[in-house]
A and B are shown apart, each in its own frame.
Chain A
C-alpha cells in the first residue's frame, strides 16, 4: 500500500476516535453539572414529586451510559434531539445557524489567509527593515486588542458616525449573496484583524527558518530576485507549518466567533449557544459542543493530511 494512503487513513481513524472521545467528555461534563434537564424545565420551585415524574417521563432515571449511547446513536443518524425551551428540532435550528456561521467564517478566511501569507512573505523580503516592523506592529496591535472592543469601536465610527454599514449584521434567506456580503463586512473585518497576526507571524517564522538552508543559497546564486527565492524555493517547504496555523485559525473563526456574533447580533452558532446556556437548554448546549468539536477536529485533520501530502518524501517514495 502507498504510504500516503496508510498515513491518511490513520489520521482519519484517529480523527473519529478523537471525536468520539470529545462527545463523551462533553456529555460527561454536562452530567457533572448540578441540576438536570427536568430541573431546568420546572425551575427552582418545583416539587420533588413533579421532578420525579418528569425525570421518569424524560428517561433521566436510566444509567448515564445508556443515555449517552442513545444520544450518540441519535447524533450518528443526524438526530440531535429537541430543544427544551421551544421544543424545536435542534438539528434544524443548528443547520441554518451553522450555515450562517460558516458563511461569516469563510468570508473572513478568504480575506485573512491570503493576506496573512502575503504579509508574511513581505515581512521576510524586508526582514528587519521598516515594512517588516510596520506589518508586525499593526498585526500585533490588532491581535492584542480584545475583539469586542474593536467591534464596538468600528460600530461607533463606521456605523454610527459614518453610517456606511449597519451595526446589526442580520442575514436571512431572502437576501442575495451581495447583500449578505455587505451585511457581514464589519464582523468579518473584525475577525480578520484577530486572526491575521498569528498566521502572518508563523509564515514569517517558518520561512525565515528555511532562509539559512543551502538550497536557498543555491537559488540566490542562480540570480533569482529575493522575492522569487522566497516564493519559489522557501514557501513550498514551509507549507506544513503554515497550513497547521491556518487551520487552527480557521477553527477559531468557527468556534471562537461567539463574542463577535454577540456584538453584531449575528444569527450564528455563537448566539445560539449563548442563548442556550443562559436558558440552561442542556440538549442544545450538548449539540453545539459536538458540532464545534467536529469542526475543530475536522480542520486539524485536514491540516495533518495537507502536511503529509506536502512532504515530497512521502508523496514520492524511493
Chain B
C-alpha cells in the first residue's frame, strides 16, 4: 500500500530568523516536528490560526521557504524520494511539475506585465511536460472546466482585465495545467466574496475530483475545509493539535482547541428595540467619486439608535465603505443629508465642528497601519484626551489606565510600541483610542476581518461589553454574516450601491428573502459535511424551476 502514499512528512521542523525591535536577531523554531501522510488523489486540510505554520508546512512540500524561513529538520518524501536531500536541479523539476501552488491572492500572484495564458502554461512548458501548443489546449479545457467565461480567449487578457474570482480560477488552472501529482491550495478563497467563494470552491472541488490530483488545502476556515478535504490536521503554533478524518474532526473533536474552533461564533446577543430618537439618520444619500460618471450610492436611507448596532453588510463594490466615507465627511454626497445627535452635519469635513469630530469616531480594518509605529500605546490613547479634553499629566495617565483596563490589556501596556503587540491587541488599542474621545457613535470598518476567528470573537465580545458601559452606538461595516448575527440590532444589506434589505436583525434574517439576501445568506459556509453539494444542488433545482 505504500505505493499509494504520495507525500510523506516526518518530524518536519522549520525555523526562521526574527528581528525583534531592540533585541539581537535570533533564530526561532516555527514548526516543531509535524508528521502526516497524503495518499494519491486525497485531500488533506491544514487548518489553524495565523502563526500556526500551515502555509509554511504547505510550502515545505515544495522544499521552499518563504522569506527567511528555512527547513531545519525532518523528512519530506514526494513520489518516493526525500526532497530535502535531493539536488537543487531535482527540486526545480518538482516545483511546477510534480507539485504546484495556488496562493491566497491571485491578484498579487499573477505577473501584471504578462498575459494570463503565458503564465498558466509556463510551468508545464518549462518542465517539458507538454509542448506549448498542448499546454494551451489543456489550459483552455481547464478554463472551461473551472467555469471561466469565454475560455478560448480569456488567456489573451492581462490579469487586471479579469475579476478577482476569475483570476483565482485562472490560478487554479495554472496549478493544474502541468498535470501535477499534488496541488498546495493556500487559502484560495479567503480573499473572495462569499457568493464568489462558493463558485470557486465548487470549481476547485470538481477539478480535484476530475483530475485525480492530491491536494493540501490550507485555510483558517474550518467550515470551508470541511467541504473539500478527506482528512484534517489542526495546527497551533507549529504543533499538531489533532489529526483525523474530516468527519471525526467536525462531528467529534477530541481536543479542547478543536472544539473551540468548531464552536466559534457562538456569541449570543439579544436584539434591542429602537426606542429613542436615532443618533444617526442618513436620508436619501446619493454619492459618486470625482471623475466617475455614475453614482456609487443611490438614495440610501438608514437609521442608528443610541447604544445600538447597525450592521452594514455587503460584498466588495456594494458601496458600504463609501457610505462610511460620506458619513465621516470625506466624500460629500451629491444629494441627501445626514443628521447626527439631533443636528444636521455639514456634508464636507471642513465644515464640521470639533464636537462633531469627537462624537463620531472610527476604527479601521488594518489596526497596524492606523497607528503611528513610533508612538507608545500611552501616547496613542492619550492624544484624543489632550486634543478634546485638554487632559495633562496624572489626570491623563489615570484615564489612559482606565481605558487600558476596559480593553482588558492593563497598565503594563502603556509604554509598549505597536510592533510589540499582536493583531488583536493592536485592534484593542485602536478601540481604546476611539473611546477616549467619549463618542456617541463609532464607525467600525471591517474591524475583525484581518483577525483570526477566536481573536475576532474576543474583539466582538469586547465591543458588546463596551457598548453596555459607554452607551455608544456602532455602525458596523462588514462582509461577514456571522459577525452580523453576533453583534447587530438592525441590519442594512447593501448591493450595488443600494440598500437591498433593511430592518431589525430578526426581520432581515427571517424569510421570505429577496433574491440577493437569499443568495448571500445561503453562501455562508456551514460547518457540516456535504453543505457545498446541498447548496449547489438546491440552486440548480431553483434555476431549473424558473
Could you tell me the distance in whole angstroms from the C-beta of A308 to the nearest C-beta in chain B?
14
Convert B75-114 into 0s and 1s, putting 1 for each residue whose CB lies closer than 8 angstroms to a CB of A. 0000000000000000111111100110101001111111
Q: Could you say which residues of chain A place their CB within 8 Å of the CB of B105?
A: 214
- Asked if B465 CB lies within 8 Å of chain A CBs, one says no
Q: Could you say which residues of chain B place their CB within 8 Å of the CB of A236?
A: 111, 113-114
Complex contact B93–A237 (CB within 8 A): no
Interface residues of B (CB under 8 A from A): 62, 64, 66, 91-97, 100-101, 103, 105, 108-114, 119, 122-123, 126-127, 157-158, 160-161, 174
- Complex Cα distance A104/B95, Å? 48
Q: Could you say which residues of chain A place their CB within 8 Å of the CB of B64?
A: 220-221
- Complex Cα distance A152/B214, Å? 68
Q: Could you say which residues of chain B place their CB within 8 Å of the CB of A219?
A: 111, 122
Q: Could you say which residues of chain A place their CB within 8 Å of the CB of B108?
A: 213-215
- Complex Cα distance A206/B528, Å? 49
Residue of B nearest to A213 (CB): B108
Could you tell me the distance in whole angstroms from the C-beta of B65 to the nearest C-beta in chain A?
11
Complex contact A224–B101 (CB within 8 A): no
Q: Could you say which residues of chain A place their CB within 8 Å of the CB of B123?
A: 222-223
- Known A236-B113, A237-B111: A316·B122 in contact at CB below 8 Å: no
Complex contact B101–A221 (CB within 8 A): yes
Residue of A nearest to B101 (CB): A221
Complex contact A218–B158 (CB within 8 A): no
Q: Could you say which residues of chain A place their CB within 8 Å of the CB of B127?
A: 222-223
Complex contact A223–B110 (CB within 8 A): no
Could you tell me the distance in whole angstroms from the C-beta of B355 to the nearest C-beta in chain A?
43
Interface residues of A (CB under 8 A from B): 213-215, 217-225, 228, 233, 236-237, 310, 312-313, 316, 318
- Complex Cα distance A228/B161, Å? 25
- Complex Cα distance A205/B110, Å? 21
Complex contact B101–A215 (CB within 8 A): no
Tell me which of B66, B91, B105, B158 has the highest count of chain A C-beta atoms within 10 A of its own C-beta.
B158
Complex contact A222–B122 (CB within 8 A): yes
Please tell me which one of the listed residues A224, A225, A228, A237 contacts residue B112 in the complex, with CB atoms under 8 A apart: A237
- Complex Cα distance A316/B108, Å? 18
Complex contact B92–A221 (CB within 8 A): no
- Known A214-B105, A217-B66, A218-B103: A223·B92 in contact at CB below 8 Å: yes
In the A-B complex, the 4 residue pairs with the smallest Cβ-Cβ separation, listed nearest first, are A222-B96, A223-B96, A222-B123, A214-B108
Complex contact A312–B112 (CB within 8 A): yes
- Complex Cα distance A233/B118, Å? 11
Could you tell me the distance in whole angstroms from the C-beta of B63 to the nearest C-beta in chain A?
10
Residue of B nearest to A225 (CB): B92
Complex contact A214–B95 (CB within 8 A): no
Please tell me which one of the listed residues A220, A228, A233, A313 contacts residue B95 in the complex, with CB atoms under 8 A apart: A220
Q: 13 A-B contacts, Cβ less than 8 Å apart?
A: A214-B105, A214-B108, A215-B108, A217-B103, A218-B103, A218-B110, A222-B100, A223-B91, A223-B93, A224-B92, A237-B111, A310-B113, A318-B160
- Complex Cα distance A224/B124, Å? 11
Could you tell me the distance in whole angstroms from the C-beta of A136 to the nearest C-beta in chain B?
23
Q: Could you say which residues of chain B place their CB within 8 Å of the CB of A222?
A: 95-96, 100, 122-123, 126-127
- Complex Cα distance A313/B64, Å? 31
Q: Could you say which residues of chain B place their CB within 8 Å of the CB of A313?
A: 112, 158, 160
Q: Could you say which residues of chain A place their CB within 8 Å of the CB of B160?
A: 312-313, 316, 318
Complex contact A221–B111 (CB within 8 A): no
Tell me which of B94, B126, B157 has the highest count of chain A C-beta atoms within 10 A of its own C-beta.
B126
- Complex Cα distance A108/B287, Å? 56
